Amino acid sequence: MKKYTSLDALLEALPLKDGMRLSFHHHLRNGDGIINPILTKIDALGYKDIHLSPSAIFPSYTSIETLLKKEKVASITTNYLNGPVANYLALHGSETCLKMQTHGGRARAIIEGENSIDIAFIAAPTVDKTGAASGLYGPSACGSLGYAMEDVAHAKLKIFVTDHFVDAIENPQIHHQHIDYLLILDSIGDARGIVSGTTTITRDPIGVSIARRAAQLIEDLDIIKPGFSFQSGAGGVSLRVTDYIKAYMQRNAIKAKFFSGGITKYHVEMLEMGLVEKLYDVQCFDLEAIKSLKRNATHHAISAHDYANPNNPRRIIKDLDVVILGATEIDLDFNVNVTTDSFNTIIGGSGGHSDTASDAFVSIIVTPLLKARTSVIKTRVNTITTLGKHVDCLVTERGIAINPRRKDLIAQLKNSRLDIVSIDTLMQRATAYTGHPKETTHKGKKIGVVEDRDGTIIDTLHAKE
């Protein structure tokens, strides 16, 4: 392990070259303090044709936009992006520029050498003298480092960047043999941006109404049994569904086997109440989740590979009974878009959407049917993030649709009192309010692709007109 306290000195020592592929993880989210200084310096050193593989791009990662403007970027491969970089690409991207992957797909591509990383810059909230690292401690603690683990294991060079260098870490998440270089900075992040604090249970009456129907659907599908497994994102509606399921579990004395994915204080509370055996945590969404990783032996930080790599037969999500997911658009074939809006603005990406929808026994989309005058159901989604064949149920405030492929679920719900109709009927219910929208499918030039977890290209991304 070579140790540096100056970024300039480190970069001088690294075998930087044109055309290199650099990776970063996004666990520090909008509070990340390493991506901008590193890329700004690399830009100043004059390197070009840079391939970037950050696991996600947040609005604060503005140095990427600067590099794009200077035409120094050959390609970007990522799982999720929004903000200035997304907006720049949607206006000025080139055909080969952007590849959107899934969390599981990124792990697969790195492990299998498809995405061969030259240098991984790993923000590490704590590193010890042996070179072992942990996300649990230090001023920039972020908890799980799940999305960095494949970069750590497979990049040609691994640079750990920390602001908390200690004698020894008791239970490191990353062991010392992985580290090539260590850079110690004054600060690697802004804690306020790391845990956003936006993960709260929705109180919006329509969101509550949708969550109540989703919870009843899960109940009617008879899935909440001892030993079941469940994943919900940190969205307010998903968390409200989780809250209803918690109440059901308490009433009926049911204990779940595991919850997986991004973990919040609500999941931790259920773990500590004894409602679930294990948490498999690929990403901590709040401070309570980070604290819980320290004190709860049954709260496990896991890698993206263990979480969702489709070629890993032991991946956690393979055993998921239910996953609750969102949608920006969904179409009559149940294809879901969470990548762009209807005008080609990039607003996010799959993250684990496609991974979990593909693997879970039942995937449930929760979304308002109507947001003001806009219907979530389209004849055809603008961008496919998750193929309709993986999407089983759509729950809205104005009814529920089950994918006709899931005859088993439809049979199971035969006596349900829920308002279950075809997705065409749901779309008509929406149109009765909105009227027929004028078709606005003007697509600009191609700026990238959407890659499913197995490497298949399932859609193309286009520039805004």
What residues make contact with other proteins under the rule CB under 8 A?
A: 203, 205-206, 208-209, 212, 343, 371-374, 397-398, 417, 433-435, 437-438, 440
CB atoms within 10 A of CB 206: 16
User: Looking at beta carbons only, is 98 or 369 nearer to other proteins?
Assistant: 369
User: Looking at beta carbons only, is 295 or 417 nearer to other proteins?
Assistant: 417
CB of 465 to other proteins, least distance (A): 10
CB of 209 to other proteins, least distance (A): 5
- Distance, in Å, from the CA atom of 242 to the CA atom of 269, rounded to the nearest integer, reads 11
- Distance, in Å, from the CA atom of 408 to the CA atom of 413, rounded to the nearest integer, reads 9
- Distance, in Å, from the CA atom of 185 to the CA atom of 41, rounded to the nearest integer, reads 15
- Distance, in Å, from the CA atom of 90 to the CA atom of 348, rounded to the nearest integer, reads 12
Integer Rg of the chain from CA: 22
CB of 464 to other proteins, least distance (A): 12
CB of 228 to other proteins, least distance (A): 23
Strand 50-54: give its sheet, edge to edge.
Answer: 2-4, 181-184, 157-162, 119-123, 21-24, 50-54, 73-78, 98-100, 446-451, 457-462
User: Looking at beta carbons only, is 182 or 208 nearer to other proteins?
Assistant: 208
CB of 415 to other proteins, least distance (A): 11
CB of 378 to other proteins, least distance (A): 11
Helix (H, G, I), strand (E, B) or coil at 76: strand
Q: How far is CA 89 from the centre of its chain?
A: 20
User: Looking at beta carbons only, is 29 or 246 nearer to other proteins?
Assistant: 246
- Distance, in Å, from the CA atom of 173 to the CA atom of 66, rounded to the nearest integer, reads 33
Whether the CB-CB separation of 140 and 344 falls below 8 Å is answered with no
User: Looking at beta carbons only, is 17 or 442 nearer to other proteins?
Assistant: 442
CB of 419 to other proteins, least distance (A): 10
- Distance, in Å, from the CA atom of 103 to the CA atom of 317, rounded to the nearest integer, reads 12
Side-chain half-sphere of 261: how many Cα atoms within 13 Å? 30
Whether the CB-CB separation of 26 and 57 falls below 8 Å is answered with yes
User: Looking at beta carbons only, is 44 or 273 nearer to other proteins?
Assistant: 273
CB of 338 to other proteins, least distance (A): 20
Whether the CB-CB separation of 117 and 156 falls below 8 Å is answered with yes
User: Looking at beta carbons only, is 164 or 240 nearer to other proteins?
Assistant: 240
Whether the CB-CB separation of 300 and 149 falls below 8 Å is answered with no
27: alpha, beta or left, given left = phi > 0 and alpha = psi -120 to 50?
Answer: alpha
Whether the CB-CB separation of 266 and 239 falls below 8 Å is answered with yes
CB of 286 to other proteins, least distance (A): 20
User: Looking at beta carbons only, is 203 or 314 nearer to other proteins?
Assistant: 203
User: Looking at beta carbons only, is 206 or 287 nearer to other proteins?
Assistant: 206
**What tokens appear for 207 in the block?**
């969101």
- Distance, in Å, from the CA atom of 370 to the CA atom of 373, rounded to the nearest integer, reads 6
CB of 401 to other proteins, least distance (A): 16
CB of 216 to other proteins, least distance (A): 10
- Distance, in Å, from the CA atom of 14 to the CA atom of 452, rounded to the nearest integer, reads 33
User: Looking at beta carbons only, is 19 or 343 nearer to other proteins?
Assistant: 343
Q: Which of 22, 91, 107 is nearest to 57 (CA)?
A: 22
- Distance, in Å, from the CA atom of 459 to the CA atom of 446, rounded to the nearest integer, reads 11
What do you get for the CA distance between the two ends of the chain, in Å? 50
**What tokens appear for 72 in the block?**
């120094």
CB of 414 to other proteins, least distance (A): 15
In the block, tokens 């043999």 appear at 177
User: Looking at beta carbons only, is 407 or 433 nearer to other proteins?
Assistant: 433
Whether the CB-CB separation of 151 and 22 falls below 8 Å is answered with no
User: Looking at beta carbons only, is 208 or 302 nearer to other proteins?
Assistant: 208
